[in-house]
Amino acid sequence: MFFITFCGCIGALRENIRLLKTFSFSLTLVFLTQLAIAILGFFYSDQARDALGKFVKKAIVHYRDDLDLQNLMDYIQKEFKCCGWNNYTDWSWNLYFNCTHDNPSSERCGVPYSCCTPVPGEAVINTMCGFGVQTQNFMEANKSIYPVGCADKAVMWIESHLLLVGALALGLALPQIAGIVLSQILISQIQDEITSVL
């Protein structure tokens, strides 16, 4: 980005055609790359969902190992009111929440507190509300946690906020297109000025 902005800034200040052409070409290349990624993401959304699923599985596995990952998962689960990727039993992937009988962890068969439904009027968050939930069926678990997985909730959020996503993409594209067009206009003006002098 430094190289691109350097070429654009110095090229415009010094009226250097080569730097302006480099700026215009680089900006066009970045724009076309972003456009290609967006199109591929649209057509290959299933692979993108699988890749996101692998990331979330990794985040669940390393939940207690990495504090940043833990905070991210807690934020996602609280915000989307979900638990795990497919459902709440995904937390068995984690060493601490694994539901096998030989697991000595006190959190065995549990889920993080971020999966729990908030109790109205509760001043202090019950961080133990998800203990033993994985042994319950869906209907029993639904009383104390969000049993639905984050995959479905994320898809629903994206579909309901498609206008926002489109506006954001357009907001990123317009300045790039404006930079490309304005640099081409400046290049043609400089070339006209050069030819008029000669």
Cα distance between residue 63 and residue 60, in whole Å: 5
Q: What is the pLDDT, as a whole number, of residue 167?
A: 86
For 179-195, the pLDDT digits (tens) are 999 999 999 999 999 88
pLDDT band at 126 (very low <50, low <70, confident <90, very high): confident
Which of 184, 18, 152 is CA-nearest to residue 88? 152
Q: What is the pLDDT, as a whole number, of residue 109?
A: 93
pLDDT band at 168 (very low <50, low <70, confident <90, very high): confident
What's the token pair of residue 34?
């972003």
Tell whether the model's pLDDT for residue 133 goes beyond 80.
Answer: yes
Mean per-residue pLDDT for 21-31? 94
Q: What is the pLDDT, as a whole number, of residue 164?
A: 85
Tell whether the model's pLDDT for residue 110 goes beyond 80.
Answer: yes
pLDDT band at 123 (very low <50, low <70, confident <90, very high): confident
